[in-house]
Every structure is written in structure tokens, then in C-alpha cells.
Structure 1
Amino acid sequence: MGLLFDIIYGVSLPIMVMIALGWFAQRWLSLDLPTLGRLHLNITLPCFIIFHLATTEASLSSLGNIAWFTIVQFFVLFGLGWMAGRWLKTEHRHIPVIAIAIAFPNTGNYGIPLIELAFGPAYIAPQAVIMTLHSILIMSVGVLALTAGAGDWKASMKASISSPVIPAIIIGLGLNVTDIVLPTPLLFPLQMMAGAFAPLALLILGASLATADRQDVWRLAPPVMILRLLVAPILTWFACLAIGFDPVMTAFLVVNACGPVGVMLVIVCSQHENGRNVAAMSVFTTTLVAPFVATVALYLLRT
């Protein structure tokens, strides 16, 4: 019960407060969500990636197993979500949104504090690697899937590779490998913008919920919740057993798989004007339930 309280009080409730603030802000101010989405994807996200990759003290070579597992896991769950979307006979434009929602847990503003609570600060660096890989995948595979329905494959490819995420990763890794320390006039603004990543994402999520078509979204939210919070962790657990990961690493990866739908999905859907309502409600409903699922998973994996 203590861990459940810590997760809800220390992780979930602050997230819900920020979401509520975004909801009220949209009601009062009628925010321009596509512009906020572009600001988030093109400024705060690259700064977040550069800062954390450049300053991590973990050995990048030691994180290879986590990296390849995360990539394979994403594509398996993406395919499962795509099949689920077709089986649900939803609108074709919503199928890639469902697929990404199943494959893309919130490993950032939700996952990082949760992992620190459950496993300690030593696992923050592996968590940052997972979050960075998810950012790459959603900004490449995710954007390609969301825009492909328009029929212009050249435009879709351009949208997926023109993101500043890839240059940010190259810069961050380059600074880390070469042990270059940025001067304070550059490092401090970078750190401040990196700190704005999570709050801005949650504000945009709340604002998106304020404009969501609830009848359309609620029909899809339950299957997304089941696949994201139940099927994905179970498949991850079986995969960890088959590969032979040690119990702590297995618990780490399974708890990550218990995360709610990543907030960045709402940002990307807003920017490309496809399925924002489905994405927003999927994030919201899974965020409500995820703390209980993570607590049960931790209890089962530690007994």
C-alpha cells in the first residue's frame, strides 16, 4: 500500500493537476494547440534529449540490451495495435493512433519518477535511453503512419525525417562521448528548456481533452486500456523470461510496459491534425489506471 500511495501521491496526482490546468486554460483562453505542439516538438523536446544524453554518467555501451529490446518491443506492440484497430472497425485514420498508443508508454514525465521510486536513481539513465528511443520511433515510424493516409508518401517521409529529434540525439551523444561540457550561458538555458518538456506536454494534453469528442473517444478507450496496461506488460514479461534477463531487469522492463499512453502522442496528433481526441482520451484514461497496474506488477515481480 505504501508504494501505491507514493506512486499516486508523488507521480499521478501532480500529473492530473497539470492536465486539469491545461483543461481550464483551453476553456478560458482557447489555446492554439497546433502551435503549442510545434513548440514542444521542435524546441523543448530536442533540448530535453540533448541535455540528458550529454549529462548522463551511464556507460552508453552498457545499455545496448535495453536499446534493442525497446525497439523490438515497440514494433511488436505497434503491429498488435494496428490489428486491434482494424478488428475494432474504427475509422481508418484512427488505426495508426491506436497502434502507436499500444506501443508507446509514457516513459518520460510519468515513467522517470515511477522508476526512481521503484528502483532507485541508478535506473534513471536506462530510463532516459528508453525515452529517447521512444521519441525517435514516434517521430519517425509514428509520424509516417499518421501522415501516410493522406496518400502523399513523399510528404510523409519528409515529415518523419525532418524532425529535430535526430540531430538532437547526435549532438547529445557527441557531447557525451567527447566529454565536452557546455559553458554555463549555453547549458543553463538548455537545462531550463529541458525542464519545460513535461509540464508543457501535460498542459497540451489537458487542453486537448477540453475539445475531445467524448462519444467517439470512449468507444475506443477501453480496448486501448486493456492492450496498453494488460497485454503489453504480459507480453513483455514472457519476452524477458525467454531472453533470460535477470529478475531486476525483468521487473524494470515490465513496469515500464505498465505505463500509460505517452503524452507525446497527443502532441504529434495535434500537429498533424489526425486523431487528437482519441489520443487525448487514451492518455487520460490509462494515466488514471496505470498506478494500480504498476503497483500490482511490482508486487508480483518482487514476491
Structure 2
Amino acid sequence: MIGLIAGVVPVFFMIALGYGLKKSQFLPDETWRPIEKLSINLLYPGFLIPSIWGADLGGGSAGAAAGAAVVAVLIVAALTLLAKPLMTLDGPAYTSVFQGVIRWNSFVFLPVIQASFGAEGLALAAVMIACIIPVTNIACVAVLAKWGAGQKAVTPLALVKAMLANPILLACLIGLALNFARVPRLPGISDTLELLGSAALPLGLIIAGAGLSFAEVARRKWTIAGTSFVKLIVMPPLMWGLCILFGGDHLAQGVAMLCGAAPGAAAAYLLARQMGGDAPLMAGVIALTTVVSALMIPVLLFVYHLT
């Protein structure tokens, strides 16, 4: 048990390293965006495709974990929409709260899964990503289109194009297609993908740390704290409980639980900036959820291994 928790610690050390590198100006600011682009468009697909391609998806655990994640997101999204009239927030701020409670950072989630559950857990996690990315993106784009500053209605075709332009989603779909078609491992191609993928997780963590900004946390502490509470206190047991309800085994339950405990996604900041959301508020939510998740994940793993 101590070894499992200790295995998660390096994940957050890597995030802290990225934050320190950015703050110290070890690398110029303008270099981080190309590094992020390399990671998202090349390294992470190199990791995800072979992980899903070689996964054993014959049992019900993958479906239970993915179903739990999707249903939990839909429940929290619906409740957040119902609660909007009670919130004293303008439209752009509300969109950042909405993104903050349902989106999560796969850069952090996948290394935590690897450290906690190994290759079998990673395969389940990759399937969850393939299922949850379309749901969260469609919901967030729709909310931003309605309440973001200066937005026009988003057409279904534009939404589909945006989904298909997401390299992480595409990598998941390619991996699933290869898996379902029972395509055997291809020497050379598989090795190349795995070599690319070996760099994805550590570099992704450094990028996640470099993107943290705490400037807004103190100024809007109650909004950010409330959003973080839903994301990190409500979502993990909800996903865990739903996975049990859907018949997931112990491994699937653990992966679902950690999916709920993953911090806010850096992609949410970019979307807020592009579609008239409150980008500074979004940055604050991402920063606080990242710090709190470093405390929550060991606690959740301890509880999980008691069950």
C-alpha cells in the first residue's frame, strides 16, 4: 500500500518540476507552446494507440469504467446547469465553473494510473478517455456557445469537425479500431509508437506543471474552492459508486475513482480563451485542483485498498 502511494509521488514531483522550470524562465515562454503541441499531436497518440490496441476489452470491466465516467459527467453537468440560476456569476465565469467540474487532465490521470495499476489499468483508462472526451467537449462547447462572451451558435457539423480534430480522441478511436479488428502487433510500427509513447507521460506532466497559474486563486477563492470541491470531493466517489453499480471489477473501480480525482484540464483554459469564457478563473481552477489532487489521490488509494 505504501509502495502504491509512493509511486504516485513522482507524478506530482514532475508537475512541480514543470512549474519551477516555467517560473525560473529556464526555458523561454515561447518554447512551451511548441512542446505542448508536440506532446498532444505526436507523443500522446504514440502512447494511446498501442495501449488500446493491445488491451483485453473482452470483459465487462472496460464498459463499466467508461460508463461510470460518462454517466458521472452527465449527472454533474446536469446539476450544474440546474444550479445556474442560483449562482451569482456572469456568463463567462459560469462557463469556467462548468468546465472545471467536468473536465479532467489526462496528462496527470494516465501517469497516476500507470503508477497505481500498471499496464492493465492503463488499457482501461485509455478506453475511458475515448468515451469521455466527446461527452465533455460537446457539453463544454455548447455551454460556451450559449454563455461565452460574444459567441454565436455552434452548428452540429462544426462540433463534429472539432471532435475529429482532437488528436487524443483520434488516437483512442484508431486504437479501438485496431483492437476490434484484431490486427496483430506490427513489428516496426508498434515499436515506433511505443518509443514515442515512452516520452509522453513524463513530458506531459512537465507541461501540466508549466501551465499552472495561481494568480486568480486568492482573488476568487470561494468560486474556485467550490468548483474544486465538486471536482475532487464529489466526482471520485460518484464515479466509483457508479462503476460498482455497473458491475465493474476491483481494478475498474480504482481506475474510475482516480478518473474522478484527476485535476482540471489545461485544454479547458485554451477553450475558455477561444470561446469567450473566463480564462483567468479557469486557470485558477486548474491550479487549485492540481494541488489538491496531489493530496486527495493518496487518500483515495488508501481507502480503495481497504475495500
Q: TM-score range by the shorter chain?
A: 0.7 to 0.9
AA aligned to 1:157 is L
Q: Distance in 2 between matches of 1:222 and 1:20?
A: 24
1:179 maps to what in 2?
A: 183
Q: Distance in 1 between matches of 2:144 and 2:101?
A: 14
Distance of aligned partners of 1:113 and 1:77 in 2 relative to their CA distance in 1, 3 Å threshold: same
Query: What's the CA shift for 1:272?
Result: 4.7
| 2:69 counterpart SS class | helix
1:157 maps to what in 2?
A: 159
2:303 maps to what in 1?
A: 300
Q: Distance in 1 between matches of 2:21 and 2:42?
A: 22
Deviation track 1:14-56 (CA, whole Å, cap 9, x = no partner) reads: 222123323444x9734387777666555555444334323x2
Q: Percent identity?
A: 20
| 1:131 corresponds to which of 100, 113, 129 | 129
Distance of aligned partners of 1:134 and 1:196 in 2 relative to their CA distance in 1, 3 Å threshold: farther
Deviation track 1:229-252 (CA, whole Å, cap 9, x = no partner) reads: 111123334434544555554344
Query: What's the CA shift for 1:72?
Result: 1.3
Deviation track 1:141-164 (CA, whole Å, cap 9, x = no partner) reads: 333433444123228536534424
AA aligned to 1:122 is E
- TM-score relative to the length of structure 1: 0.77
AA aligned to 2:183 is D
Distance of aligned partners of 1:122 and 1:99 in 2 relative to their CA distance in 1, 3 Å threshold: same
Q: Distance in 1 between matches of 2:278 and 2:205?
A: 17
Residue 222 of structure 1 pairs with residue 221 of structure 2: no
Q: Distance in 2 between matches of 1:164 and 1:43?
A: 12
Q: Which runs of 5+ in 2 are unaligned?
A: none
RMSD: 3.7
Distance of aligned partners of 1:245 and 1:207 in 2 relative to their CA distance in 1, 3 Å threshold: closer
AA aligned to 1:130 is M
Distance of aligned partners of 1:272 and 1:293 in 2 relative to their CA distance in 1, 3 Å threshold: same
1:1-303 paired onto structure 2 within 5 Å: 2=2, 6-7=6-7, 9-25=9-25, 29-31=28-30, 41-54=40-53, 56-59=54-57, 62=60, 63-83=62-82, 87-106=86-105, 108-148=106-146, 149=148, 150-154=151-155, 157=159, 160-165=162-167, 166-176=169-179, 177-182=181-186, 184=188, 186-187=189-190, 190-195=193-198, 197-198=200-201, 201-202=204-205, 204-210=207-213, 212-214=215-217, 217-240=220-243, 242-243=245-246, 245-247=248-250, 249-270=252-273, 272=275, 274-301=277-304, 302-303=306-307
Distance of aligned partners of 1:28 and 1:14 in 2 relative to their CA distance in 1, 3 Å threshold: closer
Deviation track 1:228-284 (CA, whole Å, cap 9, x = no partner) reads: 111112333443454455555434422432222234433444555633333332222
Q: Distance in 1 between matches of 2:194 and 2:4?
A: 31
Q: Distance in 2 between matches of 1:84 and 1:39?
A: 39
| 1:153 counterpart SS class | coil
Q: Distance in 2 between matches of 1:162 and 1:248?
A: 30
Q: Distance in 1 between matches of 2:214 and 2:291?
A: 19
On the 8 A contact 1:81/1:103 being kept in 2, the answer is: no
Distance of aligned partners of 1:51 and 1:100 in 2 relative to their CA distance in 1, 3 Å threshold: farther
AA aligned to 1:110 is V
Distance of aligned partners of 1:78 and 1:204 in 2 relative to their CA distance in 1, 3 Å threshold: farther
Distance of aligned partners of 1:171 and 1:294 in 2 relative to their CA distance in 1, 3 Å threshold: closer
Q: Distance in 2 between matches of 1:32 and 1:274?
A: 25
Q: Distance in 1 between matches of 2:200 and 2:136?
A: 16
Q: Which runs of 5+ in 1 are unaligned?
A: none
Which stretch of structure 1 is more off in the superposition, 203-212 or 114-123? Answer: 203-212
On the 8 A contact 2:15/2:207 being kept in 1, the answer is: no
Q: Distance in 2 between matches of 1:67 and 1:242?
A: 13
Number of aligned residues: 299
Which stretch of structure 1 is more off in the superposition, 91-100 or 241-250? Answer: 241-250
